[in-house]
A and B are shown apart, each in its own frame.
Chain A
């Protein structure tokens, strides 16, 4: 994950809180949050080499297939459930999101924005599935099977009655960074969301679902 993503994400994690990281990779994020926020963190990962890397870092890694759900965890057993750059690799992102909000009081989700102009241009002009530095796989060997755009994601949040507390976006260059403020779905390379369950007592129709302005 990018350093700038980490800096944004850090603001949404409370010190000494319990954090579950889905698809924790080599444990970099949990290690950083433990150092900066003294969190009690656990990471779920399925890749053997990444699990070993986590062990080497001293990160609490639990071998788990996230696609099978989070049935091992009680409701609200974590303060924050984080998932960076894994949403697009899930079998059913909608179900996992719902599970994350069951297990965590709040969630942080980051994903590559497929509505990005580079992706659009790649497909629109070259007529081929986008292959970028960030997403360097070919269409047939990619683990990323459920790409979405910022707009797609917010529609899903509305449908699942998920409350968007905050949104941040990251661009790949200074020009995009300027334009991203106006057209996030066109210029953001990565989207970072801070989510929670709807406030109790509100039905889905009147819950607060409009995204906040981009910081």
Chain B
């Protein structure tokens, strides 16, 4: 029998909803009385549970990190390039857990899900979150899955912040922390881009101050514009130049011809925005960008990242990409410098790429070589721990 999926794909996967009845106290002081997480897992957990890897998603990510939901799916999960049999995160060796975080809009408790206290969707009343809230909810997920210690917690961008917070909140439950295209805190410029996106959403007349669901409408225009702004910052000038250049989609500059002109890049961006605005929730977008903005790794550690990382017990892999200007290599290097000063084991690679911030999702031979080499050692260690467990 032939399978419709590539041989190095995890193939057909099914997400699961996991319910948590224990109230979750949030950093903001409010309490989520109960919540659910949308989760996908790939590979098998060994009997000593030494081979579990947690995948932390970025701003617009979710639980569907690898494989396909149906044979008709044209695109696999968002990190399929790096999760699968024989890939960097090798599902023949690891038990991989990917989830949609609380506050998300892909099935986990968030602005779109029903608030049982009111019988209506949470909408704008969903409590503000911090990365540490994600960590605590993920820790409960780990407990439920029988995972006492992650072989690795892995994340890119916002997911990298999530991963670093894990290493500080539960030091003895993380053996390796993989931080890709991330930062210890956003720069003013980075916050500014997020504020542009939020302003775009809020200025949509259909936003209704976040209460759009009660008005039976969606701020599609605003969300699409927010995504367009974000998308530009995730690509590099060079990439947009080679992919679109000044090519026209319609119209002409010929004299005597008056036609509306549209550049390819305009049409591309609009398409990206439109698609996104159909599948994503505006309140989630606001919430996620604020988690990004508020994240400051060392805030509770006298603003000293070295002091912060002294609390970590895990080893670190830090990766950045040369053309990433949203989470520039300098930000990654700050993480590395703090880790070295804190006497923590760390590997750092700055991968040559012209793909901008999105490079962390895309195929790249060198990125893969470093990532896979590191994860292979993590897998060997997991297997050794399994043997020791008998």
Q: Say whether A199 faces chain B, with CB atoms less than 8 Å apart.
A: no
Which residues of B (310-358) have their CB < 8 Å from a CB of A? 333, 336-337, 340-341, 343, 345-350, 352
Residues B343 and A40 in contact, CB atoms below 8 Å apart: yes
Is the CB–CB distance between A74 and B347 below 8 Å? no
Question: Which stretch of A50-58, A107-115, A125-133, A152-160 is in the interface?
Answer: A50-58
CB distance from A80 to the nearest CB of B (A): 15
B347 touching A54, Cβ below 8 Å: yes
Contacts known (A42-B340, A48-B366, A62-B340); A55 close to B374, Cβ less than 8 A = yes
Tell me the A40-97 residues at the B interface (CB within 8 Å).
40, 42, 48, 51-52, 54-56, 58-63, 72-74, 77
Contact code string A22-43 (vs B, CB < 8 Å = 1, else 0): 0000000000000000001010
Asked if B369 is at the interface of the complex by the 8 Å CB criterion, the answer is: yes
Tell me, in angstroms, the Cα distance from A18 to B341 when the chains sit together.
10
**When chains A and B are docked, how far (Å) is the Cα of A73 from the Cα of B337?**
7
Nearest-Cβ distance from residue A4 to partner chain B, whole angstroms: 29
The answer on a CB contact under 8 Å between B349 and A73 is no
Sorting the interface of chain B by its residue count into under 10, 10 to 19, 20 to 34 or 35 or more gives 20 to 34
Task: Give CA–CA (A61, B369) in the complex, Å.
Answer: 14
Q: Is the C-beta of B386 less than 8 angstroms from some C-beta in chain A?
A: no
**Is the C-beta of B370 less than 8 angstroms from some C-beta in chain A?**
yes
Report the bound CA distance from A92 to B374 in whole Å: 33
Query: By the criterion CB–CB under 8 Å, are A56 and B373 in contact?
Result: yes
State the CA gap A63–B348 with chains docked (Å): 6
Task: Decide if B373 touches A52 in the complex (CB within 8 Å).
Answer: yes
Given contacts A73-B340, A74-B341, A77-B341, contact A60 B346 (CB under 8 A): yes
Q: How far is the CA of A74 from the CA of B342 in the complex (A)?
A: 12
B388 in the interface, Cβ–Cβ < 8 Å?
A: no
- Contact of B343 (CB < 8 Å), options: A18, A55, A59, A61: A18
Q: Which residues of A contact B242 (CB under 8 A)?
A: none
Q: Which residues of B have CB within 8 Å of A54? A: 347
Q: Are A51 and B341 in contact (CB under 8 A)?
A: no
Residue numbers in B under 8 Å from A40 (CB-CB): 343
Whether the Cβ atoms of A72 and B370 lie closer than 8 Å is no
* A56, B345: Cβ atoms closer than 8 Å: no
- Size band of the A side of the interface? 10 to 19
Q: How far is the CA of A61 from the CA of B336 in the complex (A)?
A: 10
How many angstroms from the CA of A51 to the CA of B347 in the assembled complex?
Answer: 9
Q: Whole-angstrom distance between the alpha carbons of A13 and B298 in the complex?
A: 33
Closest to B317 in A: A55
Bound Cα distance A63, B320 (Å) = 10
> In the complex, what residues of B have CB within 8 A of residue A77's CB?
340-341
* Chain B residues positioned under 8 Å from A61 (CB to CB): 347-349
- Complex Cα–Cα for A74 and B337 (A): 10
Complex Cα distance, B338 from A77, in Å, reads 12
Of all chain A residues, the one with the shortest Cβ separation from B369 is A52
CB contact under 8 A between A62 and B346, given known A72-B333, A77-B341: yes
CB nearest neighbor in B for A42 = B340
B82 to chain A, nearest CB (A): 15
Q: How far, in angstroms, from A77 to B349 measured CA to CA in the complex?
A: 22
A58-B377 CB under 8 A given contacts A42-B340, A77-B341: yes
B354 to chain A, nearest CB (A): 16
Contacts of B336 in A (CB 8 A): 62, 72
Asked whether A51 lies within 8 Å of B340 as measured between CB atoms, the reply is: no
Query: How far is B366's CA from A40's CA once the two chains are assembled, in angstroms?
Result: 26
CB distance from B17 to the nearest CB of A (A): 37
Shortest B375–chain A CB gap in Å is: 10
Quick check: A55 and B373 within 8 Å, CB to CB? yes
Q: Inside 8 A of A63's CB, which chain B residues have their CB?
A: 348-350
Least CB distance from A59 to B in Å reads 8
Least Cβ–Cβ distance between A24 and chain B, in angstroms: 12
Which residues of chain A come closer than 8 Å to B343, judged between CB atoms? 18, 40
With CB as the reference atom, state the residue of chain B lying closest to A41. Answer: B345
Chain B residues near A55 (CB, 8 Å)? 347, 349, 370, 373-374, 377
B93-108 contact mask (Cβ, 8 Å, vs A): 1 or 0:
0000000000000000
Chain B residues in 8 Å Cβ range of A56: 373, 376-377
30 A-B contacts (beta carbon < 8 Å): A18-B343, A42-B340, A42-B346, A48-B349, A48-B369, A52-B366, A52-B369, A52-B373, A54-B347, A55-B347, A55-B370, A55-B374, A56-B373, A56-B376, A56-B377, A59-B347, A60-B346, A61-B347, A61-B348, A61-B349, A62-B346, A62-B347, A62-B348, A63-B349, A63-B350, A72-B333, A72-B336, A72-B337, A72-B340, A73-B340
A interface residues, Cβ below 8 angstroms from B: 18, 40, 42, 48, 51-52, 54-56, 58-63, 72-74, 77
**Top 9 nearest A-B pairs by Cβ distance?**
A55-B373, A62-B348, A56-B373, A63-B350, A52-B369, A72-B337, A63-B349, A55-B374, A60-B345
Q: Using a CB–CB distance below 8 Å, which chain B residues touch chain A?
A: 333, 336-337, 340-341, 343, 345-350, 352, 366, 369-370, 373-374, 376-377
Given contacts A58-B377, A61-B347, A62-B347, 20 further A-B contacts (CB under 8 A): A18-B343, A40-B343, A48-B349, A48-B352, A48-B369, A51-B370, A52-B366, A52-B373, A55-B370, A59-B347, A60-B345, A60-B346, A62-B340, A63-B348, A63-B350, A72-B337, A72-B340, A73-B337, A73-B340, A74-B341
